[in-house]
Amino acid sequence: MVDALYAEPREITDPEQCSYYHSMDIPGHGEVHGFFDLRSSVDEYLGPVDFAGKRVLEIGPGSGFLTFEMEKRGAEMVCVELSEDKPWDYVPYQHPQFDEWLEGQREYMHRQRNGFWYAHAAVQSKARVHYGSAYHLPKELGRFQIATMAAVLLHNRDPLGIIANCAQITDERLVIVEQHDRQQVEGGAADLRLVPNRDNQMVHTWWHISPELLRQYLPVLGFQVVHESTHVEQFASVPGEAGEPLEHFTLIADRR
């Protein structure tokens, strides 16, 4: 049964049980703080996309800010998020405090799911959520006009596989947002640069993905890049505090 693919909305009444990846204004509650604040730059972040009347697949909605913004613009939203029993695709870093960190991340992800459902109710969203994995998208999800992958691919061991999975079920357009690699020179190679090493204790980020790689890879999947832009977003390592600028790029590719 198709409806079994989608989660029943959680009834979250206590905002203290929630965490947020993006800052947003929640009706009836007020402002909440996340690591990024896209409220004044969301259209630049997503690029020139007409979401009206489109069925949109979103990989990794987090606490839902982009979900609800695309819905405001007329999209029918279907989100794919990790279920509680599927841990994030962490780098298997060998460190004595890894298990402690992992437990903290599980708790954060639980609170972030709560934040999604708390805001979902407040904005009266109709977005549906499939808890599973972007590595295995059930065919019962159907087809989509647009698929979005916003600052999520860098956190996965196989980002190219996720893009391919989305491409297989998307008829019109892919939207990909990623961080610019600070170490990559302009006009650099089409590559994935591995981020974790023995010393940096990086367990939540696998790759920096070059836009050149996507320009080369997306046509292999039957899509042609039609828009590319760069923009700077403020990243706050502690939500609510001053952020540091991080340059991102947005690529939009249409099925040929």
Find, among 87, 119, 82, 80, the residue nearest to 105 by Cα: 87
Give the contacts of 187 (CB within 8 A, at least 6 positions apart). 212
Q: Structurally, what CATH architecture does the domain formed by 2-255 represent?
A: 3-Layer(aba) Sandwich (3.40)
Task: Flag whether pLDDT at 1 surpasses 50.
Answer: no
With a cut of 60, say whether residue 131 has pLDDT above it.
yes
Lowest-pLDDT choice from 42-51, 87-96, 123-132: 87-96
Residue 185: the pLDDT is 54
pLDDT in tens, 190-218: 889 999 998 888 888 999 999 999 999 99
Nearest-angstrom CA–CA distance, 207 and 105: 19
Q: Where are the domains of the chain?
A: 2-255
The pLDDT tens digits of the residues spanning 141-165 come to 999 999 999 999 999 999 999 999 9
